[in-house]
Amino acid sequence: MTDRTSWILVDGENIDATLGGSILGRRPQPDERPRWDRLLSFIEERWQQPVRGLFFLNASTHLPMPFVQALLALGYTPVPLSGPADAKVVDLAIQRTLRALEDRSGDVVLVSHDRDFVDDLASLVDDDRRVGLIGFHEFRSSEFAAVPGIEFFDLEYDVHAFDAQLPRVRVIPIEEFDPAEFLG
């Protein structure tokens, strides 16, 4: 371990919307929800340094206290935000945080698929900083792939953040292909 920090910024709305709307087509069951603590331990082990997790929440209409308490217990710092109904408060706060991290040392991992963060995340990539993106590979904006230096991690396949296998169709590298998975 080093005294350097990895910052994990979670766009929970984006992950939740992708999971429920695009992958499951319904509200996730408890075992189909991400185990958020696994993101912290994954990056801590992968990059061999302490992590600090910021979990951004839109609390314009209400603050989900049981979820906030769970985040605190897992080691996250909840960032509850409010604003006008037409404001994307979570996106704005994450963009501001990414810009603020430009002047700080430490590595950065964004948990989102949203193209609104491409430029701000790209501005963090340099020779002294690791930058990562966690999400579902097939739903992340293709614009992230054009930014050299970003490490990509899949929330299910790399981080293993779920207790249940999700109904996803993924491209399988030939070295990982096992016909038994398809022959049942």
What confidence tens digit (pLDDT) does each residue in 44-60 have? 999 999 999 999 999 99
For residue 1, what pLDDT is reported? Answer: 64
153, β-bridge pairs: 134
For residue 53, what pLDDT is reported? Answer: 98
For residue 2, what pLDDT is reported? Answer: 67
CATH class entry, domain 6-183: alpha beta
What confidence tens digit (pLDDT) does each residue in 61-109 have? 999 999 999 999 999 999 999 999 999 999 999 999 999 999 999 999 9
86 is written with which tokens? 């037409």
Given a cut of 90, whether residue 170 has pLDDT beyond it is no
Given a cut of 80, whether residue 184 has pLDDT beyond it is no
Answer whether 11's CB lies under 8 Å from 114's CB. yes
Given a cut of 70, whether residue 32 has pLDDT beyond it is yes
C-alpha 9/C-alpha 77 separation (Å) is 10
| Whether pTM exceeds 0.85 | yes
